[in-house]
Amino acid sequence: MTNTRKTTKQFTSTSTHTGKLSVLISGASVAGPALAHWLHRHGFEATIVERAPALRDGGYAVDFRGHAHLSVLRRMGILDTVQRARTGMGSMSYVNTTGKSVAKLPADLFAGDVEILRGDLAHILYDETSPYTEYLFGDSIASLTEDANGVAVTFERHAPRRFDLVIGADGLHSTTRRLAFGPEKDFVKHLGVYCAIFTTANHLGLDRTGHAYRTANRMVAMYSARDNTEAKAVFYFGSPALDLDRHDVTRQQTLLTEQFAGTGWQSDRLLHDMRHAPDFYFDSVSQVRMDRWSRGRVALLGDAAYCPSSLSGMGSGLALVGAYVLAGELAAARGDYTVAFARYEREMRAYAEGCQKMGDGVAGLMVPSSRFAATALNRYYKVMPYLPGKNMAAKIARRAAENITLRDYPSA
């Protein structure tokens, strides 16, 4: 497992000793390691700080679709590795309370060209970058103080350091964004839905497929994972923003039980399994909307800057494209961050907003407000394969994913 590497440097700039631009990245999930890869490719030096004590294995499946996403994976040299770890998911069925299929959705509607578990992707990116990237696990940024020569950073655990630039790739609840731009409430837009996911036994014997049960304002689903040896349980429920401690797992699981107990299908079985799950994720379904993604020597990347929501199916692909563009613009500007950050925003703004549109309106389809609406949606999905526009949703998603022309950037 990953080891935390400590440092004894006291506000010493890495660039002072190596001549390389030194960049601190907050977040070791997807966007952060992807950025570290490209920074190294362009001759810069990256350090990643991650609050978790090690890589997070859990999470939902993420997908990549279209030329832009696959092109970045190919240029990184990891496309073949990602494809070997792909979920291979097929169609997904909506079921009634007895488990009988009432509608079926094709795989290309939600799985893209390549689908992989987020935890598996994180390990691939870590294995690729750890030989040349310093990782500081079990820590987080405490303060940022910028001056003409760099950013002085204090950490919760490690000794203070100094870097040329700081990039926040630390997700929806970004610490970097809060320190550099202001409180979360100014930028995070709640979409009216909460989501929970955890790993469980594949007791339904699902074979690269999933089942979903939907009722008024709630949906519970289960799909196979890792060659059918396990499964992921997913819960969605509609709610206005809640005053919850996002680190209080016990309260989150209690709330989920209150929402889903007795609602039918596999709900009660999965709620029981939840208490023994090796991982558990709970959060709001939200987007991040910001007028600008940089301030001085600090910039944001991925969900920290332009989270499209987990319902969009675009978050990981958008993060990888953003990492490619941000590092490339820094290389093209020869480390001049004022020029590079402006170009990064110009290249990515329309693309990010298009990806965010894929998450708009989806919440109502996931958790319809009434039992009547849920039944009507199931009936629509049942006849959808026979309708003239049956592939329209998948085509719209692909157009959004491909709506950017990637520049070729200089290499070191």
Dist. CA 120–CA 83, nearest whole Å = 11
pLDDT in tens, 9-57: 333 334 444 568 999 999 999 999 999 999 999 999 999 999 999 998 7
Dist. CA 268–CA 32, nearest whole Å = 37
The whole-number average pLDDT for the span 339-357 is 96
Q: Is the pLDDT of residue 388 over 80?
A: no
Q: Which range among 237-251, 339-353, 389-403 has the greatest average pLDDT? A: 339-353
- Sheet hosting strand 294-295, strand order edge to edge: 134-137, 45-50, 22-26, 165-168, 298-300, 294-295
For residue 184, which of 198, 168, 203 has the smallest C-alpha distance?
A: 168
pLDDT in tens, 378-387: 776 666 665 5
pLDDT in tens, 314-326: 899 999 999 999 9
pLDDT in tens, 228-279: 999 999 999 999 999 999 899 999 999 999 999 999 999 999 999 999 999 9
With cut-offs at 50, 70 and 90, classify the pLDDT of residue 313: confident
